[in-house]
Homo-oligomer: A and B are copies of this chain.
Amino acid sequence: MATQQLIEYAEANSEVRAIYDDIRATRKTDYISNFWKVLANDPTALKRAWESTKQVMAPGALDPLVKEMLYLAVSVSNQCPYCIASHTVAARKKGMTDAMFHELMAVVGMANETNRLVAGYQVEIDERFTSS
């Protein structure tokens, strides 16, 4: 159980409601996830997190599905159960197929393996990887 209460729309102050409204409009869904409802205990944190998320996850040089998969890859690597559950759903909504998910998992697994091989074998960085 969270030590923080879930702040529902009905009981939220106007500052929090405005953010919930923006989340709903931006994501084209009525659903507000527990993450935002818990963060709403600190409206300043909610605002900062939402504005960053909105800006960072918006279409840009990378499309939203790629961004969602990068997010998921980091969350899997960090072993964050909530983030894995929620961003797997989000990535699927944006078009991640089973085949894409399996390939993502294979890359994340291998990167975690080779990151340690490099560390344990104390591999020095090739000169050509450090010059600008």
11 chain-A/chain-B pairs, Cβ below 8 angstroms:
A34-B123, A34-B124, A41-B121, A45-B106, A62-B69, A76-B120, A80-B118, A82-B123, A83-B114, A86-B125, A109-B120
Q: Any chain B CB within 8 A of the CB of A128?
A: yes
Which segment, of A2-10, A11-19, A20-28, faces chain B? A2-10
Known A35-B123, A132-B3; judge A110-B77 contact (CB<8 A): no
Q: Which residues of B contact A35 (CB under 8 A)?
A: 114, 117-118, 123
Output the least CB separation between A116 and chain B (Å): 5
**Chain B contacts of A121 at CB under 8 A?**
2-4, 38-39, 41, 105
B-side contacts of A82, CB under 8 Å: 118-119, 123-125, 129
- Contacts A105-B117, A110-B52, A121-B38; A130 near B1 (Cβ below 8 A): yes
Do A99 and B61 form a contact, CB below 8 Å, given A70-B73, A83-B111? yes
**A75: B residues at CB distance < 8 A:** 111, 115
Q: Which of B56, B69, B119 contacts A110 (CB 8 A)?
A: B56
- The residues of B that contact A52 with a CB separation of less than 8 Å are 48, 52, 110
